[in-house]
Structure 1
Amino acid sequence: MATVRLIMSGAVVGQELAAEFGPLPPSLLPVGVQRLYDLQLLALAGGAPFHLVLPETYDISDHDLARLAELGVEIVPTPEGLRLGEAVVYALNSIGAGDEPVHILHGDTLIASPPLDQADLIAGGARTHEYAWAEMEVGADGRIRRLVNTPAGEDGHEGWPVAAGYFAFASGLDLLRSLTRMRGDFIEGVNHYLEGHAVRLVPAEGWLDFGHLQTFFQSRLAVTTARAFNTVRIDGLTARKSSADSAKIWAETHWLQEAPPAVQVYCGRLLGFGGEGGQVFYETEYEFLPVLSELFVHGAVGRKPWLRILASCEDFLRACAAERGPGRGDAALKALAADKTLARLERFARETGFPIDRPISLDGAAQPSLVQIAERLVPAYDLASGRADSVMHGDFCFSNILYDSRVRRIKAIDPRGLVGEKPTIYGDLRYDLAKLAHSAVGRYDQIIAGRYDCQFEGHDYRLAFEPIACQPWLEAALGDLEVDGVGGLSASVRALNVSLFLSMLPLHADRPDRQRAFVANALRLWRDLDQA
């Protein structure tokens, strides 16, 4: 007998989460470079069909539609304002469910190993936070007697487990009758079902709750992994970054130590550093905050919050620019961009056989070769400007910027700390602006998240990004920004933006699809710069 599997995400998240991420259905919340539904469907793999219940007024993107179709998911739009039990009844009637088993997962819940082949059970676990929960009275035989709603802040019943958000009912018709009889009240409907069915408690293995602000960030922490070239260990209090590349780690430590107080207020707080097990490390205070790359790619944050975020980025850059260094910023640009780009392109050609000296095209229009583009960019850097050094973060992109909406201040993490072989806090402001632009204009984070379409035939590339509502006016706001006499999208900043995508090509050898997107994106950014 087929089993109906419902992921109930028919209402947007509550006010706390909406203030951070925008009015999203819970299954579409960002978790790193993916949405929560990616993790939920991975855990549910092996059972079919899947149905994702979403508000009928939610405008789901074409990319999400394609991704869900790829995962074998049918979307069930439901009217706004339905209670959970009413939404379940509406969904079951919409898909024409019969008397087959019905498995329900709450849209803000992730269960690592749900018992997909069993029915008449409810996954439960211990209450860990003082939010409102549905507690379960369980008999000595393991049968669930009833569910009781416990309001937020109350102690509840000692020893009673709480429903973790995964329910499996053997009879879809009996579930429908029970929910209808209880007028759409989900808990009371389940209690009515319990009267006629022996439903047992099963432990909620790997249970993560994303439904509240506090539990969201703790749950996200549990599924976040570090990048391959370093190791980050997080215990909920501190983040320890370690690597066998001692020069890199010591340079970052030096930057966090030496940055002036006006800059440090926008950065992660250094707590300690040292060596252990053949690696060096440093520790910073861990921040339970959203990352700008998450907000940009998967969030639904409005224009005003984004402008506040950009204003805080500007405040940070102004604090950096106010602290002059002993040398010239041009020297940092030469080391980080001009000298590196051609060498990286040659490495890319050796490793892949890509003809970097052959002209290519974008959208059918001829473009120079990658080498020609790199050589033409160098004059645009304005390396002879004699610009003074100032404090430079060195990797000021969305994936390294957190945002605290309560105090309206960013937190920048993972500073570069190295220019060439020299540990330093100083460099060129334009490089930080280019890193910011490579997220907002270059749309690097969308490429990493796979939210684009790149086609190529021969040497002709076509690239399209998933539309993001905030992107056009965020790009416009960055163009209006000026720090220490440098425009946020001045010619030198835009030229650096192109070079960043050329330089990163060999760093993604494990993902040829990304490399193709980087090539196409470098052509797009070059074309826009060349035609300006």
Structure 2
Amino acid sequence: MSGAPVGQELAAEFGPLPPALLPVGVWRLYELQAEALAGAGPIHLVLPESFLLSDYDRARLAELQIEVVPLPEGLMLGEAVVYALNTIGAGDTPVHILHGDTLITEPPLEQHDVFVGGERVNEYAWAEMETDGEGRLAALHTTAAGDEGREGWPIAAGYFAFSSSLDLLRALTRRRGDFIGGLNHYLADHPVGVASAGAWLDFGHLQTFFQSKLAVTTARAFNTVRIDGRTARKSSADEAKIWAEAHWLQEAPPAVQIHCARLLSFGAEDRTVFYETEYEFLPVLSELFVYGAAGRPPWLRIMAACEAFLRACAAERGGGSGDDALAALTADKTLARLEDFARVSGFPIHQPLRRQGAPCPSLVEIAERLVPAYGLDSGRGDSVMHGDFCFSNILYDSRVRRIKALDPRGLVGARPTLYGDSRYDLAKLAHSIVGRYDQIIAGRYRVSQNGDDYAIDFEDIPAQGWLQDALADMSVDGVGGLDTAVRAVMVSLFLSMPPLHAERPDRQRAFVANALRLWRDLEAA
């Protein structure tokens, strides 16, 4: 049941999404729900009839064999259940109902006439479960927000299994769409037990959303990142990289640090080096961009916060050459990465290519022709540079309208340093907005290849146009957000990516196709 948009708190962060479409890392919530419900039989997802699914979500739901049930808006929950069951034409069969904002990791798929119960974790409004002396449900009681509830009474966790859909329909109808009242009417005629939730993750409130997302992230995190809800520990055998990131976070000037994750400690342990930062319960911009539905004003505030960070960095000079730093991060590195790509994959990096029939130079020739556009003779001085300022490394705090930047580069070549060139940071930001990097990582694209001819299309995201305009209006240390040098560096970033994704040939093709797209756009500008 996901037939109404999320509440105001969540809508302020992610836009008016139906709960089952909330972003959870690189998934939508319905994907995790479908994983937990594997083998349950036919699955139906109730959505507001006015909500327009993207082609990608339609395809994903079809792949998961989930049928969408459009629901008229304004119905009470009980009315919505009645409408959905009648639309499905379930007949007198068992039916299981899962709230759209809920993930139960071990649902009682084989049981009927059981409601899943969990422990109260906060003082939101819940439905408490009163049981008789034999462990069966006697009644559900709704508590008000702030009510501590009755000690020892479990909370209805959002998963309900009924032996008879007809009896459920009758009960809800008799109580005129009151869901809890209908369940209590059902309990009068059916002995219903309480099942353990396993792990009960509630995404329906702002506080519980981030706690639940943390639980999912922790369970699926890479071995190099450990999160306990207070800190995030990043470790690696690559000592130079970790020490450089920790050094950057420690030594960044206060005007820059206020926009960054707070460093707590660093050191060495079990033949690896690590550093710890304070864990922030905040949305990641890549999630908001790829999966969110926030409107234009929130995105403009986010872009203003990004610009404030970049300007704070640009105000802190290092006394070196910005041109030298940019050269080390672009020209030499791009060609070296392309040689790695050719050696491992056999890709013909010296062969001319095409983009949707239009001729393009080879990848190597593109990399070489980009060099004059970088402006490496500009005479610019260096300044503090984050070095990996893309959406996946940026959190946003809407309460103070400030970003928190994660995972700085800290290296230029092999040299640990805070300093570099703001053109590189702008290019990293552009590669999320114009380059659509995060959509590639999330698989929200289609790439086609016919011999040497490539094409790539992305899921339409309304915010993309607003963001591109805002980036074009941005100015940092005299450099516009979409100046030629910034766009040239952005193209080089995509040329550099294929060897970093050797385990994903599909993604490598996407990076090649996207580099050709961006190159053609740069040439046409």
> Same fold per TM (> 0.5)?
yes
Q: Hey, what does 2:510 align to over in structure 1?
A: 517
Q: Which amino acid is the alignment partner of residue 399 of structure 1?
A: S
> How far apart in 1 are the matches of 2:477 and 2:28?
38
Q: Quote the Cα distance in structure 2 between the aligned partners of 1:42 and 1:220.
A: 16
Residue 40 (structure 1) aligned with residue 33 (structure 2): yes
Cα deviation, residue 401, structure 1: 0.4
Structure 1 residue 209, shift from structure 2 partner: 0.5
Aligned to 1:174: 167
Q: Distance in 1 between matches of 2:426 and 2:283?
A: 21
Q: Name the structure 2 match of 1:104.
A: 97
Count, aligned residues: 525
What amino acid does structure 2 have at the position aligned with 1:187? I
Q: State how far apart, in whole Å, the 1-side matches of 2:523 and 2:133 are.
A: 75
Deviation at 1:100, TM superposition (A): 0.6
- Are the counterparts in 1 of residues 350 and 362 from structure 2 also a CA contact under 8 Å? yes
Find out whether 1:201 has 2:194 as its counterpart: yes
Please point out which of 484, 487, 490 is paired with 1:494. 487
8 Å CA contact retained: 1:482, 1:488: yes
Q: Does 2:177 correspond to 1:184?
A: yes
Alpha-carbon shift at residue 504 of structure 1 (Å)? 1.0
RMSD: 1.1
Deviation at 1:227, TM superposition (A): 9.4
Partner of residue 3, structure 1: none
Q: Give unmatched runs, 5+ long, in structure 1.
A: 1-7
**1:61 maps onto 2:49 in alignment:** no
Q: Residue 330 of structure 2: SS of its match in structure 1?
A: helix
Q: Is the 8 A contact 1:505 1:515 kept in 2?
A: yes
| Partner Cα distance (1:193, 1:227) in 2 | 38
Letter in 2 for 1:510: E
* Aligned counterpart in structure 2 of residue 50 of structure 1, from 43, 49, 64: 43
Deviations 1:422-441 (A, max 9, x none): 11000000000000000010
**Which letter does structure 1 place at the counterpart of 2:131?**
V
**Rounded Cα–Cα distance in structure 2 between residues aligned with 1:227 and 1:387:** 43
> What letter is aligned with 2:461?
I
**C-alpha distance in 1, partners of 2:32/2:335?**
39
Q: Secondary structure in 2 aligned to 1:386?
A: coil
SS of 2:372's equivalent?
A: helix
| Contact preservation (8 Å) 2:202, 2:209 | yes
2:382 corresponds to which letter in structure 1?
Answer: D
1:281 aligns with 2:270: no
Distance 2:505 2:424 in 1: 26
Partner residue, 2:402: 409
1:148 matched residue in structure 2 = 141
Q: Which residue of 1 aligns with 2:320?
A: 327
Pair 1:450-2:443 in alignment = yes
**Aligned pairs (5 A) from 1:215-364:** 215-224=208-217, 231-364=224-357
Superposition map of 1:89-168 within 5 A: 89-168=82-161
Q: Deviations over 1:434-456 (max 9, x none)?
A: 00000010000000111111111
2:455 alignment counterpart: 462
Flag structure 2 segments of 5+ consecutive residues without an equivalent.
none
8 Å contact kept, 2:218–2:227: no
Amino acid across the alignment from 2:256: V
Aligned amino acid, residue 94 of structure 2:
P
Q: CA deviation at 1:382?
A: 1.1
Q: Is residue 30 of structure 1 aligned with residue 23 of structure 2?
A: yes
Aligned partners of 1:364, 1:49: CA distance in 2, in Å? 44
Q: Deviations over 1:204-225 (max 9, x none)?
A: 0111010000010011011115
Paired residue secondary structure (2:241): helix
- How much has 1:140 moved relative to structure 2? 2.7
Is contact 1:348–1:354 with CA below 8 Å preserved after alignment? yes
CA contact (8 A) 1:226 1:232 kept: no
Amino acid at match of 1:262: A
- Note if 1:431 corresponds to 2:424: yes
Please list the CA deviations of residues 104-135 of structure 1 after superposition, one character each: whole Å capped at 9, or x if unmatched: 00000001111111111111111011101110
Question: 1:55 touches 1:80 (CA, 8 Å); kept in 2?
Answer: yes
Alignment check: 8 A CA contact 1:230 1:243 kept: no
The corresponding residue for 1:372 is 365
User: How do 1:71-86 residues align onto structure 2 when only pairs under 5 Å count?
Assistant: 71-86=64-79
**Structure 1 residues 230 and 147, CA, compared in 2 at 3 Å: closer, same or farther?**
closer
The amino acid that maps onto 2:327 is: K
Separation (CA, whole Å) in 1 of partners of 2:392 and 2:88? 40
Q: Give, in angstroms, the shift of residue 229 of structure 1.
A: 7.5
Distance in 1 separating the partners of 2:336 and 2:218: 30
Deviations 1:372-428 (A, max 9, x none): 111101111111112101000000000000000000111101101011111100000
> Aligned partners of 2:509 and 2:135: how far apart in 1?
55
Does the aligned pair in 1 maintain the 2:218–2:228 contact within 8 Å? Answer: no
The CA deviation at 1:234 is 1.3
Q: Which runs of 4+ in 1 moved over 4 A?
A: 225-230
Quote the Cα distance in structure 2 between the aligned partners of 1:360 and 1:73.
40
Match among 426, 429, 433 for residue 440 of structure 1 = 433
Distance 2:48 2:5 in 1: 8
Matched-pair identity in %: 75
Q: CA deviation at 1:496?
A: 0.4
Q: Counterpart of 1:42 in 2: which secondary structure?
A: helix
The 1-side partners of 2:308 and 2:461 are apart by 25
